């Protein structure tokens, strides 16, 4: 199994988690590989930072004495010279550099490229450089966010600050901009959270007939967007469930789970994003630790009738195929008490809410 979307912190955020800890938890969760996001501190936007990250990760894996694949995304800014450096790093260091990441809207780490003209510039630059790999995009349109709606006393208000429409509009923008630029890679919509976004992607070719034949679109679903709903944020410790994109109201999580079962979603990704309890409750940080819950989610899918072949596709083979990376599938069994490794376990609620 591979988790193609994790944030393992370390470096200047070692208080949240270290590579050694995150990779150890991933291994014990039964994973054969993880792909790490670039909004580290400092961020993975230069060749030097990427090489240093690979070195830190290798040291961690060696010290643990385990076998797990660590890949990472190079982060994109709206500066063409930096984009060129990221693409060169991908060409040179693939498969350790698995692809590129763009934050089309601000999230943790201030890597947001909110302006549509700048997003268009990114796609044009990637097309001109002949980039054919995966571009993972955080899709939430800043123009449709409503920061004023946030009230820490009512954590579920987070859902109104980043409404479903912000995701749907951003997905629409990305497909349009990628097609207009003749982008020839894979446009991957990270942690998709609404059925409307999924349906928009699936109708991509009908809606964008000018899309070049090389353009591919994929999307990934997190366990939290499939199992947890916004109302849980009104319970005790609701701030711990603050995440971007936000948990959605019922019945959206169940509809996302149905789309996963129907084959409309390409793979499962946890968006594992640990913080300290203080970061969550005093600074209202967004992100929840997903890795410890991964084996429970897979077990739930299996026990509720998902075929083994489908599970292997969603947790491993679709990912290898799309990224063009061969990672051996060990089929190791997972330890399930991993949540104890973290300061809080948002998914005990999921266990109650699970169908
Ligand atoms: Zn993420």
- Rounded to the nearest angstrom, the distance between the alpha carbon of 239 and the centre of ligand 1 is 18
What's the 101 CA to ligand 1 centre distance in angstroms? 10
Q: How close is the Cα of 317 to the center of ligand 1, in Å?
A: 21
Q: How far is the CA of 64 from the centre of ligand 1 (A)?
A: 25
Cα(209) to centroid of ligand 1, in Å?
30
Q: Report the separation in Å between the CA atom of 240 and the middle of ligand 1, taken as the mean of its atom positions.
A: 16
Could you tell me the distance, in angstroms and rounded to a whole number, from the CA of residue 44 to the centre of ligand 1? 14
Give the tokens for residue 192: 């998709």
Strand-pair partners of 267: 220
What is the predicted pLDDT for the residue at 355?
47
User: Cα(167) to centroid of ligand 1, in Å?
Assistant: 14
Ligand 1 centre distance from Cα of residue 222 (Å): 10
C-alpha 351 to ligand 1 mean position (Å)? 22
Cis amide leading into 95 (omega within 30): yes
Cα(270) to centroid(ligand 1), Å: 8
The DSSP code for 13 is B
Q: How far is the CA of 81 from the centre of ligand 1 (A)?
A: 25
pLDDT of residue 211: 55
Distance between Cα 39 and ligand 1 center (Å): 9
Distance from C-alpha of 174 to C-alpha of 119, rounded to nearest angstrom: 8
Give residue 241 CA to ligand 1 midpoint distance, Å.
Answer: 14
For residues 208 and 221, the answer to whether their CB atoms sit within 8 Å is: no
Question: What's the rounded Cα separation, in Å, for the pair 173 and 232?
Answer: 31
Separation of CA 36 and ligand 1 centre (Å):
9
Distance from chain centroid for Cα 184: 21
Distance 37 CA to ligand 1 centre (A): 7
Taking the centre of ligand 1 as the mean of its atom positions, its distance from the CA of residue 187, in whole angstroms, is: 16
216 - beta bridge partners? 186
pTM of this structure: 0.95
The three-state secondary structure class of 328 is: coil
Residue 262, judged by CB atoms within 10 A of its CB (0-12, 13-18, 19+), counts as: exposed
Q: What was the pLDDT predicted at 129? A: 98
- Measured in angstroms, how far is the CA atom of residue 6 from the centroid of ligand 1? 6
State the CB neighbour count (10 A cutoff) for residue 185. Answer: 21
CA of 191 relative to ligand 1 center, distance in Å: 7
What distance in angstroms lies between residue 337's CA and the mean position of ligand 1's atoms?
23
- 10-residue stretch averages of pLDDT, the chain, 355 residues long: 97 96 97 97 97 98 98 97 98 98 82 91 97 97 94 95 97 94 95 97 67 77 96 90 96 97 97 95 95 93 96 98 97 85 73 51
In the reported structure, the alpha carbon of residue 331 is separated from the centroid of ligand 1 by a whole-number distance in angstroms of 25
């Amino acid at each position: 199994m591979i988790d193609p979307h994790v944030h393992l912190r370390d470096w200047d955020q070692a208080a949240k988690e270290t590579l050694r800890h995150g990779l150890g938890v991933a291994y014990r969760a039964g994973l054969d590989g993880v792909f790490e996001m670039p909004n580290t501190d400092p961020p993975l936007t230069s060749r030097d930072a990427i090489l240093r990250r690979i070195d830190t990760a290798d040291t961690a894996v060696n010290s643990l004495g385990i076998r797990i694949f660590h890949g990472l995304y190079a982060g994109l800014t709206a500066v063409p010279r930096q984009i060129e450096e990221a693409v060169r790093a991908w060409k040179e260091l693939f498969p350790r550099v698995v692809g590129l990441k763009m934050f089309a809207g601000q999230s943790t780490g201030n890597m947001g490229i909110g302006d549509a003209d700048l997003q268009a510039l990114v796609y044009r630059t990637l097309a001109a450089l002949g980039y054919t790999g995966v571009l993972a995009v955080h899709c939430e349109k800043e123009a449709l966010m409503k920061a004023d709606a946030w009230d820490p006393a009512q954590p579920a208000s987070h859902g109104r600050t980043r409404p479903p429409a912000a995701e749907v509009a951003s997905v629409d923008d990305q497909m349009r901009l990628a097609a207009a630029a003749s982008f020839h890679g894979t446009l991957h919509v990270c942690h998709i959270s609404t059925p409307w976004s999924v349906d928009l992607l699936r109708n991509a070719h009908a809606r964008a007939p000018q899309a070049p034949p090389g353009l591919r679109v994929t999307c990934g679903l997190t366990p939290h967007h499939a199992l947890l709903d916004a109302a849980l944020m009104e319970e005790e410790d609701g701030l711990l469930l603050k995440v971007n994109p936000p948990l959605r109201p019922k019945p959206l999580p169940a509809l996302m789970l149905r789309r996963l079962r129907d084959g409309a979603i390409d793979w499962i990704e946890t968006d594992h994003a640990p913080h300290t309890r203080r970061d969550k409750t005093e600074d209202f940080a967004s992100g929840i630790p997903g890795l410890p819950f991964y084996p429970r989610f897979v077990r739930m899918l299996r026990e509720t009738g998902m075929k083994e072949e489908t599970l292997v596709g969603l947790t491993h083979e679709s990912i290898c195929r799309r990224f063009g990376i061969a990672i051996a599938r060990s089929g190791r069994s997972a330890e399930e008490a991993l949540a104890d490794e973290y300061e809080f376990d948002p998914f005990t609620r999921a266990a109650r809410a699970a169908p």
